[in-house]
Amino acid sequence: MEFQGKSALITGAASGMGLLCSRCYAAQGGSVAMVDINAEALGRCVEEINAQGGGKAVGIVCDVRDFKQVCETVQKTVAAFGRIDLLVNFAGGAATRIQKVPPELEFPEVPIEVYDWGLDVNLRAQLYFAHEVMKPMRAQKSGVIINIGSASGEAGSERDMDYAAAKSGAMYGLTRSLAIYGAKYGVRCCCVSPGPVLTRPDMVKIKTLMGRAADPQEVIDTVLFLASDQSSFTTGVNLFIDGGRLLRRW
């Protein structure tokens, strides 16, 4: 029960790794504010986690691109649990895929609104949540912020330039800056940057030195390790979980 008596705010919590992280955090005794824009799916996921036992879950519907909604979400989390010990910024994804842009369109033909969406969700939202969560963490003189990067933020992308740029910003500039500011208040910030993860079947096609994509649990285990007291002297780092993909050109 590593997180007994602690609370987390996890974005993108109604699906994928955000949901898995919420399940695992609650299973270890932590209370979790599950944040997502999909109200229907979020309600089902909150019910599921509360039924499993362990920590309590509450659902908060939020468009992470909207700073006012982000502020209200942080306020609701503090009202529910009295404190925020962990923020995990899982909300995100490649804009061209999520916005269903035809694959034959190259970078100059992709509507700029698609890239605006990607920059907002993958970088601006992580900054928004860190900005507001830092306030209660600073007051309680403790806390951990986990940003989510990507191997694409290191390698670049021929088409998803917004995604690569946003993730690179989260991995390096944002994470390191938050670590520098937060240190004097007992707040740590780290980043986890996956390569291919089996959240979608097509991830098996991406090559790695280890010959496979990651199981989502492998990513969550790293996130929760960084969030735990076992990592109490670790801050400002970015950890790649990519099976060695970045060690060579494919």
Helix axes 125-140, 175-182, angle to 10 degrees: 10
**Residue 55, C-beta contacts closer than 8 angstroms, at least 6 positions apart:** 3, 4, 25, 26, 27, 28, 29, 30, 31, 32
What's the full length of the chain, in residues? 250
Q: Tell me if 136 sits within 8 A of 86, measured CB to CB.
A: no
d(CA 224, CA 67): 26
- Residues annotated as part of the active site: 163
d(CA 27, CA 50): 10
Phi, psi of 134 (to 5 degrees): -60, -25
